[in-house]
Amino acid sequence: MTDHRAPRYDKRTETIMRATLDLAREVGYAKLSIEAVAARAGVGKHTIYRRWPSKGLLFHDSLLTLNEPVLDYPDTGDIMADLRRQIHGTVDLLGTPPWGPLYQALVGEAQHDPAVAASLNERFIRPQEEKTLARLKAAQEQGQISPDFDLDLAMAILSGPLYFRFLITQEPVTHDYIDRILQALFDGMEPRP
């Protein structure tokens, strides 16, 4: 006998997550409610709360499950070109609806909900940081970066200005801005004779 509950659960879960993202795009995260999501998805509130204990976790799971970006690093042998390509791709992704506004809302929610913050770090921020550090480490081993340069500091220098503009000042994060950050960073990371 075949168990049909799992596919139904998966379909219902996906329906709830899609309704969440659709409503978030329409009304914004602040006005998003479990009640509205339940109505849009055609389920009861209790169905949602069984899967997600808060609106923040529902939104987080929906955004990262249905729209998980692929931000992998190339390895062309030129660390500056590889970082530029990857970060330009990230900037393009975050500069385009729905990702940018939804990601801003998710980071905002993470400031108030420790469970969302922990999950965001585990599912998105840390994996991206690990990819960046791995690419920097490979470049260091290839002699493209000074062997004594602190790669964790390089990561902070790369991400700090992006998040500052994206979340705090909300100034545009342009390719030119990224190129200036990379040049400043690489001026300090180049191997010394």
| Percent of the chain with pLDDT strictly greater than 70 | 89
Please report, for the chain, the start and end positions of each structural domain, with discontinuous segments joined by +.
5-66, 79-189
Spatial distance between the Cα atoms of 189 and 148, rounded to a whole number of angstroms: 9
CATH superfamily of 5-66: Homeodomain-like (1.10.10.60)
The correct CATH number of 79-189 out of 1.20.1440.230, 3.40.50.2300, 1.10.357.10, 1.10.1200.10 is: 1.10.357.10
- Write out the two tokens for 157: 């220098």
**28: number of Cβ within 10 Å:** 12
Higher pLDDT, 47 or 98: 47
Per-residue pLDDT at 3 exceeds 50: no
- 66 pLDDT band, cuts 50/70/90, is low
Q: How would residue 77 be classed by pLDDT, with cut points 50, 70 and 90?
A: confident
pTM: 0.74
Sign of the torsion angle spanned by Cα atoms 183, 186, 192, 193: negative
Average pLDDT of span 53-59: 91
Average pLDDT score over residue span 67-78? 74
Arithmetic mean of pLDDT, 90-118? 85
* Distance from chain centroid for Cα 10: 23
